[in-house]
Amino acid sequence: MPEILYNEIPSLDLADFNSGDENRKKKFVADLGAAYNNIGFVAIKNHFLSNDLQDKLYTSVKKFFSLPDEVKRKYDATHIAGQRGYTGKGKEHAKGRNTGDLKEFYHVGQDLPSEELKRENYPANVWPSEVPEFKTYSTEAFQQLEKTGLLMLQAIAIYLGLPEHYFDDKVKKGNSILREIHYFPIDDPDSVPPEAVRAAEHGDINLITLLMGASAEGLQVLRRDGKWIPITALPNQLVVNVGDMLERHTNRKLKSTIHRVVNPPREKMNTPRFSIPFFMHPRSEMDLTVLPGCVDKDNPKQFEDITAGDFLNQRLAEIGLKK
């Protein structure tokens, strides 16, 4: 059985999958499938993101968000639905809600030559000149998390009875996003709407999310029995969960887990929280049509056919980033 992480999140060793030992690999795949069917999150050690790079990334992110609002707004990306650059405070809300979350964030995507960006129909990254190291550490972290995510998707493919490399060409140069989040401090809690939270309950849009440790507590996941439990990425581990695209593609065989970031106690509302998830997206043309092997008489097809690009645009409108 896998080692149990804080609050029942199973902890698995990616080295088992990548070892060349078929028995270790099979056990990793079986434990991963069991974790995703039970709670929807798993913690992974022996991934490719080093502690040193993570620390440097967080330092640069904190430096950017400490800049005055008028400086940060120079990197606003409203015209591209916030898909690159800075998105200001309260602009995003969860699907089905109208109150903005108590956060601001910065998006980094594929760092490709301009001709490749044009071919892929991706916007270019936007880099803050005030923090030059921000680009260096963001792009390096993006690459290491993408490398880790590819192995996770290979394990998921095996679990689903698909060829191991089923997802490889679908995520190569995919529309993935590194989201650097600042849950900003609030000196007067009465100045915000009473229903406002750091991040209201939601499922992620993408295939899988890889989350490094945050600077403070607050992340909670909705367990299958309806109970909210706090979770934390332990040192040297990433928390990896299933997103809405993978839920659709597998006809809910793998479920996108609902999670949220709750406000701290009132007396600690004036303290910040930083978090950096990596949202692994496929290429826009990926067909998310339900896999035939995930449909049977007990689980009929639950989703209409759609591409990843169209689904992303639909969800961006639902969360207030795209008009």
Q: What is the pLDDT of residues 120-136, one digit of tens each?
A: 999 999 999 999 999 99
Give me the pLDDT at residue 218, please: 87
What does each C-alpha distance from 188 to 173, 193, 195 come to in angstroms?
Answer: 43, 11, 15
Domain ranges of the chain: 3-318
Q: Which residue has the tokens 């502690």?
A: 51
What does each C-alpha distance from 108 to 3, 73, 103, 105, 135 come to in angstroms?
Answer: 33, 16, 17, 10, 9
State the pLDDT confidence band at 2, using cuts at 50, 70 and 90: very low
- Amino acid at residue number 104: E
Q: What are 66-88's pLDDT values in tens digits?
A: 999 999 999 998 888 889 999 99
Return the closest-CA partner of residue 250 out of 178, 307, 299. 299
Give me the pLDDT at residue 82, please: 85
Give me the pLDDT at residue 4, please: 34
Give me the pLDDT at residue 8, please: 64
In angstroms, the CA 204 to CA 211 distance is 12
Q: 3-318 sits in which CATH class?
A: mainly beta
pLDDT over 70 for what percent of the chain?
A: 96
Return the closest-CA partner of residue 74 out of 131, 17, 16, 32. 131
For residue 41, what are its two tokens?
Answer: 């999150």
Q: What are 258-270's pLDDT values in tens digits?
A: 899 999 989 989 9
Residue 314 scores a pLDDT above 50: yes
Q: Which of 7-16, 27-36, 198-207 is the least confident region?
A: 7-16
Handedness of CA 15, 17, 22, 23 (dihedral sign): positive
CA dihedral 255, 263, 236, 144 (to 10 degrees): 70
Give me the pLDDT at residue 97, please: 81
In angstroms, the CA 121 to CA 124 distance is 9
| pTM for the whole structure | 0.93
Give me the pLDDT at residue 319, please: 80
Q: Which of 17-31, 53-67, 163-177, 209-223 is the least confident region?
A: 209-223
Average pLDDT value for residue range 12-28:
97
State the pLDDT confidence band at 3, using cuts at 50, 70 and 90: very low
Residue 93 scores a pLDDT above 90: no
Average pLDDT value for residue range 307-315:
94
Residue 57 scores a pLDDT above 70: yes
For residue 223, what are its two tokens?
Answer: 């367990």
Q: Which of 166-170, 215-219, 234-238, 301-305 is the least confident region?
A: 215-219
What are the strands, taking DSSP E only, across the chain? 3-4, 10-13, 41-45, 85-87, 104-108, 177-183, 199-202, 208-211, 219-222, 228-230, 237-242, 259-261, 273-275, 277-280
Average pLDDT value for residue range 215-239:
83
Spatial contact of 39 and 257, defined as CB atoms under 8 Å apart: yes
Q: What are 107-163's pLDDT values in tens digits?
A: 999 999 999 999 999 999 999 999 999 999 999 999 999 999 999 999 999 999 999
Give me the pLDDT at residue 5, please: 38
Tell me the pLDDT of the chain averaged across its residues.
Answer: 91
Average pLDDT value for residue range 233-255:
91
